[in-house]
């Protein structure tokens, strides 16, 4: 970076010039990151399948440019100079410097050609997965997955060595939940796995059977109910469909998707919208004044925290009886259901969304069995990263794990190891964030209840703005000012505690 750039970056401000130059550099990186995000959204929502090869090349090219900017040798010097200026920085600037240093250290550990190959292979693998999954054709995608796993292991090993991590899998965990280490989450997961199977069996044995809801209403009506919820929540971004629901964007350009499945109506249309809107609201309410900087969350917010925001809306709010006391009447009206229909009473809808059942599909799993799905995937992906499980053995290992944890075996790979997109898109290490997010959500909602004693009444009346604002003030607006554990501690008064999650599950499913 030239002397002129340094002077321009700090001109007319009191900001130390090295730090100001870093902000300028990362503003450009933020724009590239968002362009990549939009290309990814378009690929999943709008792009014709025939454009996959070209889109993969486009994203690989942009990723290469982005990686080069992230690994610019001049950044190392600027980081040293900015560190020397640290006593003149604000708290937000110091937090930003910490995040820049983390990004730079991780990125410089991975050579340009490896970063480009990872992106290109991930795009190719995900494209093949999209057709292999419905055909239950694991053999079709296995070669690309093997190549992708090999590249991922190289990247993980390089990052772990550079960052002084205990094992390569830590590098994958740290990608999605900053500061997370396997030695820290393993005891939590192990303790939960010891408690959960018997708890699941008890919940199944004592639950009240719900009345079936019949055939799904037309998609247009399900979308209309979803839009009603989004309006109540204050979400004002795009709302589309895709094969796998997701959220994208930030600030004034946030986009979420949902999906619709055949078979009996299960209210998935409601819970999925709540989940993705929870993500979307987080991205909408990040600190706007830092929206082009790492401290503002533009690069890598903790997914364990991000997922907690989705789970607060889906699990803590959307699966409460108070929520269905609010939504039952609007749902009947939009779906054209008679008010006397016993299946569409708040109580039956509540039982519907809280039915505990051992099943094959993670995204359709109930709240009690969902953690078992994550425990299975965490064990498998760690074994793959460690080199203890090969891709060719993945289907059998998956089925063995399902039999061990659930007592059932998928009849095909579509409902087994092909069901999730994550590994086929290169997202190894992502799955633990889902379970950590669910645990965080229980702890966060307990803190919200202490702060808003009227929360049950607000939910029953469909008054979601105070809930959204509490989340904004206590979590969203803090961006990446602190590390994820500190964000949770700030909002709840404590680090993540498993007992909070067990208490929530027990009250909803075991104490009835």
The residues that are catalytic are: 276
Query: What is the spatial distance between Cα 383 and Cα 180, in angstroms, rounded to a whole number?
Result: 18
Q: Using alpha carbons, select from 279, 345, 354 the residue that is nearest to residue 313.
A: 279
Cα dist from 284 to 204, 393, 474, 487, whole Å: 38, 42, 14, 18
Instruction: Output 87-91 pairs: Cβ under 8 A, ≥24 positions apart.
Output: 88/16, 89/16, 89/19, 91/481
β pairing state of 253-258 and 238-241: parallel
| Chain centre distance of CA 164 | 26
Transcribe 165-182 into DSSP letters. -SSHHHHHHHHHSTT--H
Q: In angstroms, how far is the first alpha carbon of the chain from the final one?
A: 64
Long-range own/partner contacts, residues 76-85 (CB < 8 A, 24 or more apart): 76/104, 76/108, 78/1, 78/18, 78/21, 78/22, 78/25, 79/22, 79/104, 81/18, 82/16, 82/18, 82/19, 82/22, 84/18, 85/16, 85/18, 85/19
What DSSP state is assigned to residue 136? Answer: T
Output phi, psi for 72, to 5 deg.
Answer: -55, 120
Strand-pair category, 247-250 with 238-241: unpaired
Nearest to 478 by CA among 89, 120, 129, 92: 92
Q: How far is CA 9 from CA 17, 18, 93, 149, in A?
A: 7, 8, 15, 41
DSSP SS3 for 388: coil
């Amino acid at each position: 970076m030239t002397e002129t750039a340094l002077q321009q970056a700090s001109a007319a401000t009191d900001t130390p010039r090295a730090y100001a130059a870093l902000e300028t550099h990362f503003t450009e990186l933020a724009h590239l990151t968002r362009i990549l995000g939009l290309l990814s959204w378009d690929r999943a929502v709008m792009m014709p399948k025939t454009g996959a090869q070209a889109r993969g090349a486009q994203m690989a090219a942009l990723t290469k440019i982005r990686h080069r900017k992230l690994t610019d040798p001049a950044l190392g010097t600027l980081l040293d100079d900015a560190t020397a200026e640290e006593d003149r920085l604000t708290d937000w600037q110091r937090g930003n410097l910490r995040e820049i240093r983390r990004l730079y250290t991780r990125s410089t550990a991975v050579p340009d050609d490896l970063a480009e190959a990872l992106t290109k292979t991930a795009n190719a693998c995900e494209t093949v997965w999209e057709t292999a999954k419905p055909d239950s054709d694991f053999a079709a995608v296995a070669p690309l997955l093997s190549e992708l796993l090999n590249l991922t292991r190289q990247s993980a090993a390089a990052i772990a060595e550079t960052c002084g991590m205990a094992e390569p899998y830590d590098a994958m965990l740290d990608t999605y939940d900053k500061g997370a280490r396997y030695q820290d989450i393993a005891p939590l997961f192990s303790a939960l796995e010891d408690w959960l199977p018997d708890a699941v069996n008890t919940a199944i044995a004592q639950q009240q059977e719900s009345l079936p809801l019949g055939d799904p209403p037309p998609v247009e009506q399900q979308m209309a109910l979803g839009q009603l919820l989004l309006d109540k929540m204050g979400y004002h971004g795009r709302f589309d469909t895709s094969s796998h629901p997701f959220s994208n964007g930030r600030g004034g350009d946030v986009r979420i998707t949902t999906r619709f499945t055949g078979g009996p109506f299960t209210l998935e249309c409601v819970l999925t919208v709540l989940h993705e809107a929870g993500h979307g609201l987080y991205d909408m309410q990040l600190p706007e004044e830092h929206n082009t900087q790492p401290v503002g969350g533009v690069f890598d917010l903790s997914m364990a925290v991000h997922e907690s925001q989705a789970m607060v809306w889906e699990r803590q709010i959307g699966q409460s009886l108070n929520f269905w006391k609010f939504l039952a009447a609007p749902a009947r009206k939009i779906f054209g259901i008679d008010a006397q229909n016993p299946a569409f009473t708040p109580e039956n809808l509540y039982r519907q969304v809280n039915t505990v059942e051992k099943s094959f599909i993670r995204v359709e799993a109930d709240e009690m069995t969902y953690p078992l799905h994550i425990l299975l995937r965490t064990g498998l992906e760690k074994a793959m990263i460690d080199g203890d499980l090969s891709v060719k053995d993945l289907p059998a290992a998956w089925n063995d794990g399902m039999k061990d944890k659930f007592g059932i075996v998928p009849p095909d790979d579509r409902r087994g190891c092909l069901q999730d997109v994550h590994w086929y898109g290169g997202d190894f290490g992502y799955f633990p964030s889902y379970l950590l997010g669910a645990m965080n959500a229980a702890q966060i909602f307990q803190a919200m209840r202490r702060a808003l004693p009227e929360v049950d009444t607000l939910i029953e009346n469909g008054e979601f703005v105070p809930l959204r604002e509490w989340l904004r003030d206590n979590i969203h607006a803090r961006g990446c000012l602190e590390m994820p554990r500190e964000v949770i501690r700030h909002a709840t008064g404590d680090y993540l505690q498993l007992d909070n999650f067990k208490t929530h599950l027990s009250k909803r499913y075991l104490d009835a």
